[in-house]
């Protein structure tokens, strides 16, 4: 196993996102890091992500009638030092025939500002041939379900190389390259003593960087993990809960998915200047990389909630993988804000009774939305603002994305125009007042019993029901 670096300690790191939108088919979501002082690395990662997205889009268009078409890229830091950075991209996709993953690791040598594919960790062609021979021998061992015959001295086959805490060279293969996808991740660890003669100068730097990231059981970090995991924490709530009675005020909940991103801080500035509160459904991976914006959200009266770890369609996952997506995000967010998220927004809004039941077991209410800004489908902030204002009603839960710059640019207009209509901006649970929100309940919009469909107070003759009551599995 590769021991990955905590991204929150890397100065100047942001998370970039490329997504098709929650209502798009097929589902496509990709995240990758950008680092301020490594522009060439950033360009390479963006190029790689776009190439993979384009390829999947072509494949998916040929199989438009197949179910569960989904594409997802998440990332980890294989190493990060003052000399070298390694970014591992995990690329998953499904077009009707089950989920498969590929892996590629891009390296950046800070000493000469070079971006390198993994094969460049080796010093020359003979070194690549020697590595291929070692890997073939190891794959030909007791794991008969793998095939060593497919291993050639091809740089494209050795596109995901890294190091474990012992300094062993780890060679990762894509699903179906040396064995069936049902095997899961297949990797070979070449002992450090055998690997060292094969390494280039960059490879040696990468190996040294990996040796510095050890987090074995018994270390301080591991002990803190165990201690924190057993410490009870209160459920997450806005520090201003109770300051607005949504049975009397015209309330609307602005919600933002997928962050925190590069523009989340600016969004918080805009919301703060207008004294508006919002609910942020944060991805666990992004929260782990950039914890400070989440702490600021809580200080300023917003609410932080769970949007899973890596933005997978939960309805396509097994129960244990759903649980992993929820638990990893719960832990990352809880460790950051000191409170336990009580709300879950499933990616793409995709949910069912099974997901609601698993969420209930973790104390999570499932939140969808009643108004979709469709912000990811346009680069024009005016269009985004117009859609939000047009769809806003008392009790509305409005879907937006804080990782998308045009959405942040649209925020001042959204706030101004909805204020003019008499709206107050609250977090999602405040829409329900004393009714509260039940773990496992599914919520699309808030209670609007005091308001008619035109956004004005009901007269005594109005009999309109609430926009949405919670449903339970």
Q: pLDDT tens, 150-188?
A: 899 999 999 999 999 999 999 999 998 988 878 888 999
Q: What is the rounded distance in angstroms from the CA atom of residue 156 to the CA atom of residue 418?
A: 53
**Helical packing angle, 319-337 and 353-360, nearest 10°:** 40
Residues marked active site are found at: 257, 401
Structural domain harbouring 162: 7-211
User: What is the percent of the chain where pLDDT is above 90?
Assistant: 77
> Are 303 and 365 members of one domain?
yes
> Are 172 and 263 members of one domain?
no
> Are 308 and 200 members of one domain?
no
Judge contact between 409 and 263, C-beta under 8 A.
Answer: no
pLDDT score of 312? 96
Q: 3-state DSSP call for residue 296?
A: helix
> Are 183 and 280 members of one domain?
no
> Are 21 and 144 members of one domain?
yes
- Specify the pTM: 0.90
Judge contact between 336 and 329, C-beta under 8 A.
Answer: no
Judge contact between 31 and 286, C-beta under 8 A.
Answer: yes
Q: What is the rounded distance in angstroms from the CA atom of residue 196 to the CA atom of residue 169?
A: 9
Confidence check: pLDDT of 78 > 50: yes
Q: Where are the beta strands (DSSP E) in 138-260?
A: 161-163, 169-173, 186-190, 250-257
Q: Is residue 465 a part of any domain in this protein?
A: no
Confidence check: pLDDT of 458 > 60: no
> Are 61 and 201 members of one domain?
yes
If pLDDT is split at 50, 70 and 90, which confidence band does 381 have?
Answer: very high
Q: Is residue 258 a part of any domain in this protein?
A: yes
Q: Is residue 468 a part of any domain in this protein?
A: no
If pLDDT is split at 50, 70 and 90, which confidence band does 361 have?
Answer: very high
- Look up the CATH number of the domain holding residue 425: 3.20.20.370
> Are 255 and 351 members of one domain?
yes
Q: Is residue 462 a part of any domain in this protein?
A: no
Give the tens place of pLDDT for each residue, 187-231.
999 999 999 999 999 999 999 998 876 443 333 444 454 455 446
- Among the ranges given (66-70, 230-234, 249-253, 456-460), the one the predictor scored with the smallest mean pLDDT: 456-460
Q: Is residue 264 a part of any domain in this protein?
A: yes
> Are 124 and 13 members of one domain?
yes
Q: What is the mean pLDDT of residues 33-42?
A: 97
- Look up the CATH number of the domain holding residue 19: 3.30.565.40
How far, rounded to the nearest angstrom, does the alpha carbon of residue 357 sit from its chain's CA centroid?
22
> Are 267 and 189 members of one domain?
no
Q: What is the rounded distance in angstroms from the CA atom of residue 66 to the CA atom of residue 84?
A: 42
pLDDT score of 120? 98
- Among the ranges given (58-62, 88-92, 169-173), the one the predictor scored with the smallest mean pLDDT: 58-62
If pLDDT is split at 50, 70 and 90, which confidence band does 59 have?
Answer: confident
pLDDT score of 454? 45
Judge contact between 158 and 199, C-beta under 8 A.
Answer: no
pLDDT score of 64? 74
User: What is the percent of the chain where pLDDT is above 70?
Assistant: 89
C-alpha torsion angle, residues 124, 127, 132, 134 (rounded to 10): -170
> Are 174 and 262 members of one domain?
no
Q: Is residue 56 a part of any domain in this protein?
A: yes
Number of domains forming the structure of the chain: 2
Q: What is the rounded distance in angstroms from the CA atom of residue 269 to the CA atom of residue 263?
A: 10
Task: Tell me the average pLDDT of the chain.
Answer: 89
């Amino acid at each position: 196993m590769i021991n990955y670096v905590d991204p929150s300690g890397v100065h100047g790191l942001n998370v970039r996102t490329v997504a098709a939108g929650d209502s798009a088919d097929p589902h496509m979501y990709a995240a990758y890091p950008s680092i301020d002082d490594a522009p060439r690395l950033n360009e390479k990662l963006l190029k790689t992500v776009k190439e993979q997205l384009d390829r999947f889009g072509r494949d998916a268009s040929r199989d438009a009638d197949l179910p569960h078409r989904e594409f997802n890229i998440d990332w980890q830091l294989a190493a990060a030092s003052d000399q070298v950075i390694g970014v591992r991209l995990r690329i998953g996709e499904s077009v009707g025939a089950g989920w498969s993953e590929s892996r590629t690791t891009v390296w950046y040598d800070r000493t000469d500002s070079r971006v390198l594919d993994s094969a460049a960790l080796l010093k020359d062609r003979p070194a690549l041939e020697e590595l291929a021979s070692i890997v073939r021998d190891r794959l030909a061992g007791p794991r008969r379900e793998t095939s060593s015959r497919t291993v050639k001295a091809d740089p494209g086959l050795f596109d995901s190389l890294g190091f474990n805490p012992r300094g062993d060279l780890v060679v990762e293969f894509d699903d179906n390259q040396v064995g069936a996808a049902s095997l899961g991740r297949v990797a070979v660890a070449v002992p450090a003593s055998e690997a060292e003669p094969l390494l280039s100068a960059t490879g040696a730097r990468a190996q040294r960087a990996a040796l510095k990231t050890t987090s074995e059981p018994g270390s301080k970090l591991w002990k803190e993990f165990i201690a924190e995991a057993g410490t009870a924490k209160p459920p997450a709530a806005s520090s201003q809960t109770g300051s607005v009675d949504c049975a009397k005020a015209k309330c609307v909940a602005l919600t933002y998915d997928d962050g925190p991103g590069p523009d989340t801080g600016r969004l918080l500035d805009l919301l703060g200047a207008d004294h508006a509160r919002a609910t942020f459904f944060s991805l666990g991976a992004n929260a782990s990389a950039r914890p400070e914006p989440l702490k600021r959200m809580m200080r300023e009266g917003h609410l932080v909630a769970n949007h899973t770890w890596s933005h997978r369609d939960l309805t396509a996952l097994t129960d244990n993988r759903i649980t992993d997506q929820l638990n990893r995000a719960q832990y990352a967010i809880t460790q950051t804000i000191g409170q336990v998220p009580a709300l879950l927004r499933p990616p793409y809004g995709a949910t069912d009774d099974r997901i609601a039941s698993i969420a209930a077991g973790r104390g999570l209410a499932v939140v969808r939305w009643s108004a979709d800004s469709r912000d990811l489908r346009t680069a024009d902030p005016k269009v985004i603002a117009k859609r939000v204002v047009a769809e806003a009603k008392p009790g509305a839960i409005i879907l937006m994305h804080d990782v998308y710059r045009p959405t942040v640019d649209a925020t001042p207009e959204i706030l101004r125009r909805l204020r003019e209509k008499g709206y107050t901006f609250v977090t999602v649970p405040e829409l329900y007042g004393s009714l509260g929100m039940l773990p496992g309940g599914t919520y699309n919009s808030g209670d609007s019993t005091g308001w008619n469909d035109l956004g004005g107070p009901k007269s005594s003759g109005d009999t309109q029901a609430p926009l949405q009551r919670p449903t339970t599995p």
